[in-house]
Structure formats: structure tokens, C-alpha cells
Amino acid sequence: MMCMPPDTVLKSLNQALHHVFSTDARVYLLGEDILDPYGGAFKVSQGLSTNYPERVLTTPISEAGMIGVAAGMALRGLHPVVEIMFGDFLTLAADQIINHIAKFRWMYNDQVRLPMVIRTPMGGRRSYGPTHSQTLEKLFLGIPGIEILAASSLGDPGEMLANAILQSEDPVLFIENKLLYPLSLFSVRDSGDLELETSSDLYPVYTLRICGAPPPDLTMATYGYMAELALQAQHQLAFEEEIFTEIVVYSKLSPFQIDPLLLSLHKTSRLLTIEEGTLTLGWGAEILARCFEQVGNKIVTASRLAAHEHPIPASKPLEEYALPDTKRIISTVHHLLQRGECS
């Protein structure tokens, strides 16, 4: 089979699935409407049922059931992948995720392993309305026993997925923001004015700065699709206003290490967290708390940017208003820099 190197996030994820199916017979896929020619609602699973019909199980509309079945398969040595059509539907399987798969290894005293991956698209800006647009991973962040990863266009999202499927011994929740799918990978873009630093972790932390710029004044911490908006804001701030920032993008949201962010914060002393989920008790709150615990005396100013605290509206203008965008990132950066000067 001819296999062009992937140029989009969607192709990267799809090719990674084909790769793991071809190299490891323990890999199975369960999900709704994943058979060809449909290949899943967002086409990430396309082609798998044609090539591996016996290992692709199209399921009834039973999120809890399919995650439980996959967990049973994982307990018995297979490496199942579950596609949940919309991340919003993870709530249907919350008991399976929290009280079963996240618990078994630990509560059975490390005597079992559950190597399984639940992949799911999250996020808005497609006008799907309140129950098909949310960014709900915050409900699962911090639950011991499950790793939560978020793809972005940085690095190799497909490789990250393949590692989660084949190398992780523990259950993984793999978050894919819907707007990432058609995006070109950062590695194939013309981004000569950016310097990208990649940590050596299996699921790296990425740090981005403008090449040859003066020391940055502010750090933006983010993940997933929000990294794209942060990159746009970083570019505009640098080239239109000569405000220089550093972006730190997490691939592994939970459990996570704060240190790579502290390295940047040592330089900037100013922090903005950006997430697409709602603000209160969210990802940014934890990031800020950890930073203040570690280097509170070094932080001049900090803020969080997130979705407004109401359900995601269907109407496009309402939805755009609800979610963080480049404009709001830039205005929050302005605000933080002014606050920093006053203090």
C-alpha cells in the first residue's frame, strides 16, 4: 500500500491506527458507525474495517457497555481502542471509566493491567450545540489511574496515539479537538520564524518562541486546539506590537509535570492559561495553583482564559462569543502586561 507521509492531524491519527493494526494483532477497535465506507463520524477510523474486518467491532449505541467490554478485553491481554463519537458522550460511561478501568490496576494491588485507549473528539466551533460541542476532559482530569492525553498539531499526534495503544499499560483517554482534524501538522508548515522545543517525554511538552526574539514577557500555557489560537496570538503580538511570548503546550494533561512550565515562567514571571472548557475548577486553575505553590514569589501576574460559563450555544455568533479566541487571548495578554507594570 502506498503511504504518503501524513500532512494533517486527521491523516496522522488514521495512519497511526493502520500502523498499530498492522503491527500488533492484539489491537481491536470498538465504536459506533466505524465500518467503511462511513469509517466513523470524523473519519479517523476509515479503512480499518476493510483491512481488519475481524478486529473492528461496530457497536450498538452503548457507550458504557462498549467501554466496559473493551476493558474486559484489556484485562485479558488485548489492546482495545474505543472510539466515542462525541466526547460529550463520555458522561454515559463515567462509571466504567472512574469506578472500573481507572481503579482495577491499583485496587487489585498492581496485579492486573488495562492497556486500552478511549479516543474521542471534543470541542466546539461547529455549531453542534450544547450536547455535541463541549470540552469535558476536565471532568476526568486528576482521577488517579487513567492517563489523559490531548492531541495537537505539534509533533506527531499519530505517534502519540500509537504509543498510547501499544506502549501504555494503563487506560488512556485520548482527546482530539474536532478542529484539529483538517489542520496541517506543524511539522509540514512554513514556520521558520518559530523555534520549537520538544521535551524528551513519551508525550512531550512543547515550548514555542519567536526565533531571535528578545526575552519573552509572558508565558501562555495551553493544550489541544487552543495551541493554534495561542500561536496566532503569539505571531500577532510579536510582529504587530513587538510583544514577545512563549507558549507551553501540554500533550499529557493528567497526571502531569509542572516543571517544563516553570522553566518558562522563570523567564517571564507572567502566566496565561488557555483552555476551551469552562473556567471554574478547570485545567487552568490547577496549573495556576501548582505554579504558585512552586514559584509563587516569582510570579508577577497570572490569569486564566476559558469558555464562558454556560452551555455551548448552537448559533454561530453566540458560540464564537462563548469560546476563547485569538482576540481575547491578545486582550488578556495586554491586560496582564499592564497589570504587571503597575504592581
Residues that bind another protein (CB under 8 A): 28, 57, 59-60, 62, 64-78, 80, 95-96, 99-100, 103-112, 144-145, 170, 255, 257
CB atoms within 10 A of CB 257: 13
- When the beta carbons of 111 and 200 are compared against another protein, the nearer one is 111
CB atoms within 10 A of CB 20: 23
CB atoms within 10 A of CB 342: 7
Q: What is the DSSP string of 186-232?
A: GGGS--TTEEEEE-SSSS-EEEEEETTPPPPSEEEEEETTHHHHHHH
Label residues 142-167 b or e (16+ Cβ within 10 Å = b): ebebbbbbbbbbbbbbbebbbbbbbe
- When the beta carbons of 73 and 226 are compared against another protein, the nearer one is 73
First to last CA, the chain: 61
User: What is the nearest approach in angstroms of another protein to the Cβ of residue 96?
Assistant: 6
8 Å CB contact between 275 and 222: yes
Instruction: Specify the DSSP element, H or E, that contains 92.
Output: none
User: What is the nearest approach in angstroms of another protein to the Cβ of residue 174?
Assistant: 18
User: What is the nearest approach in angstroms of another protein to the Cβ of residue 255?
Assistant: 6
User: What is the nearest approach in angstroms of another protein to the Cβ of residue 109?
Assistant: 4
Instruction: Specify the DSSP element, H or E, that contains 305.
Output: strand 301-307
Place of cell 512563549: 246
- When the beta carbons of 183 and 205 are compared against another protein, the nearer one is 205
For residue 115, say if its preceding peptide bond is cis, omega within 30 degrees of 0.
no
- When the beta carbons of 110 and 242 are compared against another protein, the nearer one is 110
- When the beta carbons of 77 and 192 are compared against another protein, the nearer one is 77
User: What is the nearest approach in angstroms of another protein to the Cβ of residue 119?
Assistant: 17
- When the beta carbons of 73 and 237 are compared against another protein, the nearer one is 73
User: What is the nearest approach in angstroms of another protein to the Cβ of residue 135?
Assistant: 25
8 Å CB contact between 196 and 227: no
- When the beta carbons of 41 and 94 are compared against another protein, the nearer one is 94
DSSP H helical segments within 222-322, as ranges? 226-241, 259-268, 283-295, 316-322
User: What is the nearest approach in angstroms of another protein to the Cβ of residue 191?
Assistant: 31
Alpha carbon separation from 107 to 99, 141, 145, 202 (Å, rounded): 10, 19, 10, 26
- When the beta carbons of 10 and 67 are compared against another protein, the nearer one is 67
8 Å CB contact between 161 and 13: yes
User: What is the nearest approach in angstroms of another protein to the Cβ of residue 89?
Assistant: 13
User: What is the nearest approach in angstroms of another protein to the Cβ of residue 73?
Assistant: 4
